Amino acid sequence: MYEGRRVLTLVPARGRCDGIDHMNMRELGGHPLLRYTLRVAAQLPFVDRLFVSTENERIAAYAREHGVDVPALRSEALSEPDVVMEDIVAEALARFAESGEEFDLVLVLYPNAPFKRPEAIARAMALALSCDFVVPLYGHRDYLWEVDGDRARLAGDAERTSREAATVKHEERGGIYVYNLASGRWADPDTRETGFVEVGFHESRMVNTVYDLLMFERLARLPGSLVDDLLTCD
């Protein structure tokens, strides 16, 4: 439980192609990509129920081998590329309700964000108590451009000066989401109040391409403390 609220932790792991064929079972640092999220989820003291949502028998078997519940395979209709996470959450809640299990918060951890940490997840959980939905954001000062036909203009900055003076922009990265079920608006993007947890450069990295897998391979094998040292700017 988290502050007296029951927590369902959902790891969505399709077996189909998500930019990479069978991405969630691709090896990174000697383990399937899915393993990193299952490992961090196991460190969370407030989780009442942890399960993997998948339509794939291989992924389900792997999760069960590592002590993670897969109560039933996800319906094929909820494994298509255009399905939204709210529908997957709703299906999971309905299935657990059939056996009498109710929850107050749903924590969703995406497996293609292998470097997320318990500290960021805990911050997201705390924020979820005062809003409907929490997303992970990574802030940076890179220049972004909007394209209109064959012309481009700066987005978020009045002019191109120095990177240090540029406006901070935020990208949705990090694979940590929390739904506050006490709110009737948690599933409605148009009306819900969305909070955010800010994540650092390393923990915001996500695997979406083969290039990402190759680039993150060495990082995945390094001790976490060494990665922190390498990323620290004196």
pLDDT tens digits, one per residue of 175-219: 999 999 998 899 999 999 999 999 999 999 999 999 999 999 988
pTM of the model: 0.93
pLDDT of the residue at 233: 54
Cα–Cα separations (whole angstroms), residue 88 to 12, 52, 76, 123: 8, 11, 11, 24
In total, the chain counts a number of residues equal to 234
Over 80: is that where the pLDDT of 83 sits?
yes
Pick 27 or 81 by higher pLDDT: 27
Average pLDDT of every residue of the chain: 92
- Confidence band, pLDDT 50/70/90 cuts, at residue 234: very low
Q: What is d(CA 23, CA 152) in angstroms, rounded to the nearest whole number?
A: 34
Q: What is d(CA 93, CA 73) in angstroms, rounded to the nearest whole number?
A: 14
Over 70: is that where the pLDDT of 28 sits?
yes
3-state secondary structure of 23: helix
Q: Among 47, 51, 56, which residue's Cα sits nearest to residue 96?
A: 51
